[in-house]
């Protein structure tokens, strides 16, 4: 009898593990970023790669990385850190 009642729960758990990640709003990303000591716009999520959470900051501290990693992990996202930012010089 226990097997019959736990089978639907197992199926739900298996299906939820395969669920497509959702796009988080800019407000959610900014809120998470501010909570981790980042500025507005330093956490982004791309429509084409919803599973990726992108941390776009020059030399983020270990604490910031850890905080964002924890937020991403709770939401089943993979953290990508872009820290070596080189902008082309303007006015040439």
Q: Could you report the per-residue pLDDT of 32-76, keeping only the tens digit for each?
A: 999 999 999 999 998 888 999 999 998 899 999 999 999 999 999
Q: Please state the pTM of the whole predicted model.
A: 0.70
Residue 64 falls inside a structural domain: yes
Residue 4 falls inside a structural domain: no
Tell me how far apart the alpha carbons of residues 85 and 52 are, in angstroms, rounded to a whole number: 18
Domain count, the chain: 1
Residue 25 falls inside a structural domain: yes
**DSSP letter (8 states) at residue 6:** H
Residue 90 falls inside a structural domain: yes
Tell me how far apart the alpha carbons of residues 67 and 73 are, in angstroms, rounded to a whole number: 10
Domain with 46 in it: 21-92
Q: Coil, strand or helix: which one is 79?
A: strand
Contacts of 62 (CB under 8 A, 6+ apart): none
């Amino acid at each position: 009898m226990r097997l019959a009642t736990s089978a639907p729960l197992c199926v739900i758990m298996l299906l939820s593990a395969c669920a497509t990640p959702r796009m988080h709003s800019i407000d959610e990303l900014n809120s998470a970023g501010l909570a981790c000591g980042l500025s507005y716009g330093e956490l982004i999520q791309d429509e084409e790669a919803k599973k990726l959470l992108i941390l776009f900051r020059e030399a983020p501290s270990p604490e910031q990385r850890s905080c964002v990693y924890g937020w991403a992990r709770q939401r089943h996202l993979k953290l990508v850190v872009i820290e070596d930012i080189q902008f082309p010089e303007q006015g040439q």
